[in-house]
Amino acid sequence: MIYNTYFQRFFTFMTNTFKNLIPFIIIFMPSHVSAKWYEHTFNTMGTRSHVEFWLNADKDKSVNTGTNEKAAHLIGQVVAEMKRLDQSMSPYIDSSELSLLNRDGGTKEVSVSKELFSLLLEAENISVMSKGAFDITYASIGYKYNYREKIRPPQAVIDMALPLINYHGITLNGTKSTVKFVNSAIKIDLGGIAKGYAIKRCINILKSQGVKFALVSAGGDTSLLGDRNGRPWLVGIKHPRAEEKNAVHIPLENEAISTSGDYERYFIEDGKRYHHIINPKTGDSARKVVSVSVIGKDATVVDALSTTVFVKGLDDGMAFINTMPEYEAIIIDNNQRLHFSKGLQQ
Ligand code: AMP
Ligand code: MG
């Protein structure tokens, strides 16, 4: 008992004394220890990607021989993984698995990789959960828009093609890992979920090689491993109408956050904003809100949910997120007011 009390006092004394010195200890660490942050920004999946991680040369023997080489190797793996997924899931690459599926899915059962099949299943789950607000067959009309060229399909074309937007039109055969569309005019696109999946894969690559603190982002999707070495990461949510500004900063650790905004790809015609998030019920851009961020552990689901809540809008979207305790949302409405889901309100 006495020993315990003395020990506790000693411990408290030591902790209080050294607490304030810790920052200096880190600052004056000998240079050969070389624990530090590494980062790299690159273009992939049609967007800007970023990777950032901490390598502690002291604790991880495998990096003592050359932390820089290990960092370069890790960065190389992250870039390669993003590129691999782009090659398989991009609608802009004719040889991608996705393009081949869109070409043949309406006429025959197409064999796809286990990876693409799993992602299609995840997309289908979110479609069911969201009652069709998230629907990868949105592309049956979505591909008729060209935001850079300010082209949109005429209303008559939208009316004709609208029945094609229906996730029930995709048959997934798990035993054979094949996919079939009920109609050859059905097209699918994974733009609302693939980046989340990609950053999740990259974080897992870093984690499997001993990294404890990391951030990987692709466009508006970010996944975090641990904290920022003792402090939370501060993730900015873009101001929807002021390009260089953030509307809010959120402290996070070990979470993923995805933002869907109507400012990412759009054009304005007769005062109306046509942008890349399509309401499957209308074939037109979703216009109930201007930005939605979703926070949760699973980067793939978080990515799909941000698109989903954007389509659903403030009331339905918030009610939907509030039924899922493991996910939170921050919505910016058309008057640029911020709204927080239940778990973020304190
Ligand atoms: P995000 O930025 O994650 O919201 O994703 C937007 C992307 O999701 C768009 O560029 C499209 O590729 C895709 N998308 C648009 N509308 C939908 C929808 N209703 N369901 C699923 N994906 C969609
Ligand atoms: Mg998303």
Residue 149, pLDDT score: 98
Q: What is the pLDDT of residue 346?
A: 73
Predicted confidence at residue 205, as pLDDT, reads 98
pLDDT for 237 beyond 90: yes
Alpha carbon distance 295, 275 (integer Å): 23
The residue whose CA is least distant from atom 2 of ligand 1 is: 260
pLDDT higher than threshold 70 for residue 33: no
Q: Is the pLDDT of residue 204 over 80?
A: yes
Q: Does any ligand 1 atom lie closer than 6 A to the CB of residue 305?
A: no
CA of 265, closest atom in ligand 1? 10
Give the span between the Cα atoms of 42 and 76, in whole angstroms: 11
- Whether 192 is in the pocket of ligand 1, judged by its Cβ within 6 Å, is yes
Could you tell me if the CB of 311 is within 6 A of ligand 1? yes
198 lines ligand 1 (CB under 6 A): no
Select from 332, 326, 342, 336 the least CA-distant residue to 310. Answer: 332
- Average pLDDT of the segment spanning 30-39: 67
The pLDDT tens digits of the residues spanning 73-108 come to 999 999 999 999 999 999 999 999 999 999 999 999
Confidence of residue 56 (pLDDT cuts 50, 70, 90): confident
**What's the CA-to-centroid distance between 192 and ligand 1, angstroms?**
4
Alpha-carbon torsion (26, 29, 32, 33), positive or negative: negative
Ligand 1 centre to CA of 220 (Å) is 12
Predicted TM-score (pTM) of this structure: 0.89
- Give the per-residue pLDDT at 59: 52
Q: Choose which residue among 189, 195, 275 to substitute to test ligand 1 binding: the one with the highest number of ligand atoms within 8 A of its C-beta.
A: 189
* Mean pLDDT within 207-215: 97
Per-residue pLDDT reduced to its tens digit, 114-171: 999 999 999 999 999 999 999 999 999 999 999 999 999 999 999 999 999 999 999 9
Task: Please tell me the residue having the least CA distance from ligand 1 atom 6.
Answer: 192
State the chain's mean pLDDT as an integer: 90
Tokens read off for 295: 């926070």
CA pair distance 290, 275, nearest whole angstrom: 10
C-beta 301 within 6 A of ligand 1: no
**pLDDT in the model for residue 67:** 78
Task: Report long-range pairs for 145-152 (Cβ below 8 Å, ≥24 apart).
Answer: 145/274, 145/276, 145/278, 147/265, 147/266, 147/267, 147/274, 147/275, 147/276, 148/265, 150/267, 150/269, 150/274, 152/269, 152/274
Residue 28 pLDDT greater than 70, yes or no: no
Q: How many CA atoms lie within 13 A of 242 on its CB side?
A: 7
- The best mutation among 276, 284, 290, 312 to test binding of ligand 1, ranked by most ligand atoms within 8 Å of the C-beta, falls on 276
Residue 12, pLDDT score: 42
Query: How high is the pLDDT of residue 276?
Result: 98
Pocket probe mutation, ligand 1, options 144, 277, 287, 301, max atoms within 8 Å of Cβ: 277
Can you tell me the mean pLDDT for 289-310?
98
- Predicted pLDDT of residue 342: 97
Ligand number, closest to the Cα atom of 191 = 1
CA dist., res. 275 & res. 136, Å (int): 16
Is residue 196 in contact with ligand 1, taking CB distance under 6 Å?
no
What pLDDT shows up at residue 53? 97
Average pLDDT over residues 23-41: 57
Q: What is the pLDDT of residue 76?
A: 98
Q: What is the mean pLDDT of residues 228-232?
A: 94
